[in-house]
Amino acid sequence: MRAHLWKQVKDFLNSATIFLPTLEEVDLKPFEEEVIDTPAEEAVEPEDPVDISLEEDFNCEEDDENGDPSVLPEMIVLPLPSNIISRELRPSLESLISVERELRKGQANDALEGLRVGLANKSLLLLTNVNKSTSTKQSTRAWASVRNAQSQILCHAHCYQRARQALKYVGTPEDLAVYHKLKEKDLVTVKDITMAKRFGQGSDTLAWFWRIGPSQDTLTGKWMEECKPTLIILVGYI
């Protein structure tokens, strides 16, 4: 895993010399991670790291002639246009910035889709597997799948935050108006699945990312088509 990342980072840095001017360390700013977690009332214990093994990677690291063993590839700040804070360099990076802006929007869309799928999956698992488990064995398996779904949700949430953070530097205010800040309360399960027919359901709303899509004008335009003749008649009558 680490050796593979070394290769990725090395290739990226090599290509950076073609597209970017020479950069100093002060020109780059690492991504400031905002910690986001599932709301406390819905949190489940994290998965046991049984399957994750980095030991072989550390052995690979020593053999890896490309990498400097004192520097970990995951700690290197990649010179993406959104990480370059130098104001002098910015005008020369306009074409790169416009490309990154588009790609970051795609990354944000992917992450939000993953988030929606993850939350719906977790809700469904709670409703079916967890609620209907009749033995300890079934219950253990059900909760393991819920934990797995939660890890996926947090992974997509991080991915979205990273994309949004980058859009703050390379995007426009319109982009930030579409891609809102993700809050912990947004990462709740879909109550319409887990607790259908509950008290106060009518006034409950889903998080903003469930409604993201084409602009409101395109939707209301078609939906209001049938009302147009009525309005014209009414106006004529008045």
Partner 1 sequence: MAMEERGHHLKIFDINHKKPPTLAQITLRLTDIKDNPSDCVKIVDWIADGIKAENDQWVLNVASYLVFC
Interaction of residue 158 with partner 1, rule CB under 8 A: yes
Q: Which one of residues 26, 52, 177, 238 is an interface residue with partner 1 (CB under 8 A)?
A: 52
Interaction of residue 39 with partner 1, rule CB under 8 A: no
Interaction of residue 175 with partner 1, rule CB under 8 A: no
Phi-psi region of 11 (alpha: psi -120 to 50; beta: other; left: phi over 0): alpha
Listed ranges 59-67, 73-81, 120-128, 182-190: which one lies at the site for partner 1 (CB under 8 A): 73-81
Listed ranges 6-14, 36-44, 59-67, 138-146: which one lies at the site for partner 1 (CB under 8 A): 6-14
Interaction of residue 164 with partner 1, rule CB under 8 A: no
Interaction of residue 68 with partner 1, rule CB under 8 A: no
We find the least distance from the C-beta atom of residue 142 to partner 1, in angstroms, to be 22
Listed ranges 13-21, 122-130, 187-195, 200-208: which one lies at the site for partner 1 (CB under 8 A): 13-21
Listed ranges 91-99, 117-125, 131-139, 195-203: which one lies at the site for partner 1 (CB under 8 A): 91-99
Residue position matching structure tokens 């359901």:
201
Interaction of residue 5 with partner 1, rule CB under 8 A: yes
Listed ranges 183-191, 192-200, 206-214, 230-238: which one lies at the site for partner 1 (CB under 8 A): 206-214
We find the least distance from the C-beta atom of residue 5 to partner 1, in angstroms, to be 5
Q: Sign of the CA dihedral 158, 163, 169, 172?
A: negative
We find the least distance from the C-beta atom of residue 15 to partner 1, in angstroms, to be 5
Burial (CB count <10 Å: 0-12, 13-18, 19+), residue 125: buried
Applying CB under 8 A, which residues contact partner 1? 1-2, 4-5, 8-9, 11-12, 15-16, 18-19, 31, 46, 49, 52-54, 73-76, 78, 80-81, 95-96, 99-100, 102-107, 109-110, 113, 155, 158-159, 162, 212-214, 219, 222-223, 225-226
